[in-house]
Structure 1
Amino acid sequence: MSTVAIPTNVRSRQLRRWRDIGLIAGLALCSGLVTLASLPGPVAGPAAPLAVIFPPWVSGEEAVARSLATGARLLRQGAVPFVVVLAPEAGMVPAARPVGAMLMLRLDGLAGCIISSEAEASRL
């Protein structure tokens, strides 16, 4: 028995390879553009409260002092002493993160987590 080699067209194999590379690159580009388009834009209206999270070894008093140094109004402390909830002045976000803060989170969608003063007064 003899083996017969099937001739392959090298040019068509290269074209298929480039086509596959182009499809993968196009898919990656489109998914990146879709991701960028889905990011939220600037929010108009009143400034949302911010949760400032400090390292756990920062005391509550020190976290409050560092947060007030940014010029924002203090709403309350979190459930743990190293979390502080701030209310930036209308139309202004604190210029910089408080010294030593690890993270700042906007609390736009978490309105139920912040107890308003009226709700807290009615609870008492």
Structure 2
Amino acid sequence: MKILVSTTGAFQLMNSSQHELVRAKGLTVVHKSLYWSEYIALGTVVVHAQVNDEATDAEWRETLRASDGDQDLALASFLDRYPVDEASARRPEPAPIPPSTKQVEHNAPRGRRASAPAPTSDAK
């Protein structure tokens, strides 16, 4: 299941394991997960509606554009197109998306060069 959420202030939040970003302004469609549940419990994210798994954030933004920015009209239309069904409500949280690029080790030693030893104090 997915949820339509917004933040309670002028900040955005990101779930990097799912590549989901909750924008600072307006509503955003994200997967209902433990990650977002923590922010909901803290009061930094507010749930406005639940939708089925076929709903996407891009579809939500297109629906909002088509309704000339009228959020109430867009929300009613969006909920009508993507109602929560029994199968969607019981689906488990999706697995994390694997990273698409290799992470770079910035501080790894280069070649055969060893890192410099820590300075020692010889004063007695």
TM-score (norm 1): 0.29
**Which of the pair has more CA radius of gyration?**
1
**TM (normalized to structure 2)?**
0.29
Structure number with higher strand proportion: 2
